[in-house]
Amino acid sequence: MPEGGLTDEGLLERLRASYGEAIVAEVERELREARKKVKAGVAQERLVEAIHQRYTYRMHDLSEFMKTLMQRFTKWFNGTHARRGNLWEDTFKSVIVEDGVAAKTIAAYIDLNPVRAGIVKDPAEYRWSSYGEAVGGGAKGDGKKARAGLVRALRAHHGVGADASLWTKDVAREYRLILLGGAAEKLEVRVSRDGGTETERKRKGMDAGEVARENENAKSGDISLGKMLRCRVRHFTDGEVIGSRGFVDEAFDKARERFGKKRKDGARKLRGSGAAAAGTLWSARDLQKGIG
């Protein structure tokens, strides 16, 4: 939202992107009449502010946007298919995510949704995911929006913004390692010269340099979560805040009034199917049921 709020023209421009011309024309008429009353001294500025508030409270609020989107789509779908009742299995959920390891992990978790659902084996095959669009180019053939988003997820902790021009082969390879780390791993048993056996760990589609880079990332806390990410990790949808221990505790301090008086800190260990990230990623909720 611009500093000082939207002008009348700015509000109407944004409304045209979401509403029909008849509704926009009616809002424009209301604003014009309200401005006349304020100018004539028979009304105060808050009359105009109230008109703005009817629409701006949903702007820059993802939860409100998703609520409206899901309600309108359900109404359209039910009317088109002569049905009634709820359409979506779950309500919309949002989680605060720290830049760095948490952002990379959550991005990969989302891109692996179609793999967990059994729709595709490789996330690149699903064109409606950010990774699928980044690799396949999307409807416009460039995939710039998806690449920009993934660059930010992978590099924001280094001060890098959403810039599609920074989507290089190295960035793409790094993200693919996160996506496929666990699934690409296999063990190969070989017979040694003395008749014994030795186990060699290999990774499909990775050269020695890539494996070494992934191992180095693991040492620095940038862990390989391939296997974990192929399970449903409830913390990533219900954890409220995901990140380092310090990040979660800071978020807890800022929203202290939302928690019980007996609670001393915010960070809680990931359990169940998210345990592979325990000690590296933390959650604001101590989930114990339905966590795999």
Segments making up each domain of the chain, as ranges: 8-56, 96-224, 231-292
What is the phi/psi pair of residue 37, to 5°? -65, -40
Q: If we measure between CA atoms, which residue out of 204, 134, 138, 208 comes closest to residue 172?
A: 134
pLDDT (tens digit per residue) in 22-59: 999 999 999 999 999 999 999 999 999 999 999 888 78
Ranges of residues in the chain whose predicted pLDDT is under 70: 1-4, 138-141, 181-226, 292
What is the phi/psi pair of residue 97, to 5°? -125, 135
Tell me the C-alpha distance between 227 and 184, whole Å.
Answer: 9
Note the pLDDT of residue 216: 53
Q: If we measure between CA atoms, which residue out of 105, 107, 97, 94 comes closest to residue 147?
A: 107
Note the pLDDT of residue 28: 96
What is the phi/psi pair of residue 247, to 5°? -65, -45
What pTM did the predictor assign? 0.67
In degrees to the nearest 10, what's the CA dihedral of 55, 59, 61, 65? 70
Note the pLDDT of residue 139: 60
Strands (E), the chain: 96-97, 185-191, 197-203, 241-243, 268-269, 282-283
- Report which residue type is found at 29: R
Note the pLDDT of residue 292: 64
Note the pLDDT of residue 128: 85
Note the pLDDT of residue 91: 78
* Continuous segment of H or E residues that includes residue 196: none
What is the chain's length? 292
Note the pLDDT of residue 2: 60
Note the pLDDT of residue 190: 43
